[in-house]
Structure 1
Amino acid sequence: MTSKTVLITGGTSGIGLSLAQKYIENGDKVIVCGRNQSKLSDLSEKAFKTCLFDLNNPDEIKTQFNDINSIDIAIFNAGDCRYIDDAKQFDGELFSQIISTNLSSLGWLLQFTLPKMTNGGQVVFISSSATLLPFPRSEAYGASKAGMDYLANSLRLDLLKENIDVTLVHPGFVKTPLTDKNDFQMPFLITSENAASRIINGVNKRKKYLHFPKRLTLILKLFSYLPFSIWQLLIIRKSNP
């Protein structure tokens, strides 16, 4: 099989780093994007290219992508997760920052990557199974990922004529530096290496939608079909022991 050019945002930690390492091991040309200069330097010898930028700075993104000629797979994985701890004293600044980082930045990434996508290329959005049901304190994070879901599903329709596939990914709890900060139980937690393997396998099969681990996501999907009052009672009890 010929090697592919794979661009990965958030490629210096967690799922993104595991994806980068696995694609490099597969012999693909990996463009690793992130804002950690030290980790990008560590990857520079093996990666095809490293790109240092802040997701919220479109000029930096444009500059870093200028000399990229073609992309076979673009994986949009970078993001942030912070919580609204007091809903009545709503933190508008935090909300704005999360929406900007997790959702608005995708517009710039798409603007600078889609023209470079090859015929038969793929765009992969790493969203979250948190969009399957509402969770306490997740107003900012959940809204940003729900927006990503709609973006991915809508974009898939418009890119069909360009022969570019779109894959939407709903991971469950994955052990990463972000989830290490969580102060609540994370059932069915998997490693970032496990998550990366599942994503690569699904991308290779050109799947439109991936969700894992199914022992978590299927439970969430089941609750989403039940009356909301059942989920509300369960999750509020769980959140307030």
Structure 2
Amino acid sequence: MQRVLITGASSGIGQQLALDYAAQGWQVIACGRNETRLAALRDQNSAITPLSFDVTDLATTRAALAPYTAELVILCAGTCEYLNDGVVDAELVARVLSTNFIGPINCLDALLPQLKAGARVALVGSTASLVPLPRAEAYGASKAALAYFARSLAVDLAKREIGISLVLPGFVATPLTDRNDFAMPMIITTEQASTYIRQGLAKGRAEIAFPPVFAALLRMTAILPQALQRWLAKRMVR
């Protein structure tokens, strides 16, 4: 039985991935901070083992993950907070970076020594890192940092035969996006997101961006002059 370790499994995409991999016969280590939600996952499928800890705390993360290894690791924990009217809130930015960037790094610190050749690690970023979006300074920056780290790490881990996949979702209907107060074009369900991710990982893809049309539009936008990117981004969000 293959084992997958998933962070952010207490809700959203991570929760759906945990359920779907368990249904496929994988042994799932479902990580998150909400013990009640993780226990509910275990109740739905006995192949799911809940593991509660805070990825932003390095010592706690090292201790929690020390006993574990896996053929597949999906680092999915994330959060989103927006700046308003260009006012930079340093504490808000630090919170977002701590969860979205430092959290996955803490997990990699703890897990990489145990991973064997042939293992694959997926880091869940966002298509928001491709273009500048209003109010998304903290979120976009955290995901852009994660994307660079993933691409660079893939080069260094090639000699150990450990694969790295960067996952770039568009808008997905989750408790996190439920708080958004703007239109979310081409939004998809967590079930659809899980399918895109699992299919891409099964094929060993280095990058998995979805939904395809939305991701393609953002990639095309990213090669335009900055002034035009900003003009389009404002209207895309509206």
Amino acid at match of 1:51: L
Alignment of 1:88-107 (within 5 A): 89-107=87-105
Partner residue of 2:190?
Answer: 192
Percent identity reads: 39
Deviates more, 1:52-61 or 1:72-81: 52-61
**Out of 28, 31, 37, which is 1:30 matched to?**
28
Query: Which deviations, in whole Å up to 9, do the C-alpha atoms of 1:150-195 show, x marking residues without a partner?
Result: 1100100011010100000111110000000000000111000110
For residue 59 of structure 2, give the secondary structure of its aligned residue in structure 1: helix
Check conservation: 1:73, 1:117, Cα contact below 8 A.
no
Deviation at 1:48, TM superposition (A): 4.3
Partner residue of 2:75?
Answer: 76
Distance in structure 2 (CA, Å) of the matches to 1:199 and 1:237: 28
Q: CA RMSD in A?
A: 1.4
Partner residue of 2:212?
Answer: 214
Distance in structure 1 (CA, Å) of the matches to 2:213 and 2:223: 16
Distance in structure 2 (CA, Å) of the matches to 1:53 and 1:120: 27
Partner residue of 1:233?
Answer: 231
Distance in structure 2 (CA, Å) of the matches to 1:5 and 1:12: 18
Distance in structure 1 (CA, Å) of the matches to 2:115 and 2:235: 47
Deviation at 1:238, TM superposition (A): 5.3
Check conservation: 2:8, 2:14, Cα contact below 8 A.
yes
Partner residue of 2:61?
Answer: 61
Deviation at 1:237, TM superposition (A): 4.5
Distance in structure 2 (CA, Å) of the matches to 1:107 and 1:142: 17
Distance in structure 1 (CA, Å) of the matches to 2:72 and 2:134: 34
Check conservation: 1:83, 1:141, Cα contact below 8 A.
yes
Check conservation: 2:18, 2:48, Cα contact below 8 A.
no
Distance in structure 2 (CA, Å) of the matches to 1:157 and 1:56: 25
Distance in structure 1 (CA, Å) of the matches to 2:182 and 2:164: 32
Distance in structure 1 (CA, Å) of the matches to 2:160 and 2:138: 33
- Normalising by structure 2, we get a TM-score of 0.95
Partner residue of 1:160?
Answer: 158
Alignment of 1:1-150 (within 5 A): 3-45=1-43, 46-68=46-68, 70-87=69-86, 89-150=87-148
Amino acid at match of 1:54: D
Partner residue of 1:151?
Answer: 149
Check conservation: 1:32, 1:47, Cα contact below 8 A.
no
Number of matched pairs: 236
Could you list the runs of 5+ residues in structure 2 that have no partner in the other structure? Answer: none
Query: Which deviations, in whole Å up to 9, do the C-alpha atoms of 1:32-69 show, x marking residues without a partner?
Result: 0001111111123424421101121122212222322x
Deviation at 1:197, TM superposition (A): 0.8
Distance in structure 2 (CA, Å) of the matches to 1:100 and 1:190: 26
Check conservation: 1:173, 1:188, Cα contact below 8 A.
yes
Distance in structure 1 (CA, Å) of the matches to 2:217 and 2:155: 28
Distance in structure 2 (CA, Å) of the matches to 1:44 and 1:180: 25
Check conservation: 1:123, 1:165, Cα contact below 8 A.
yes
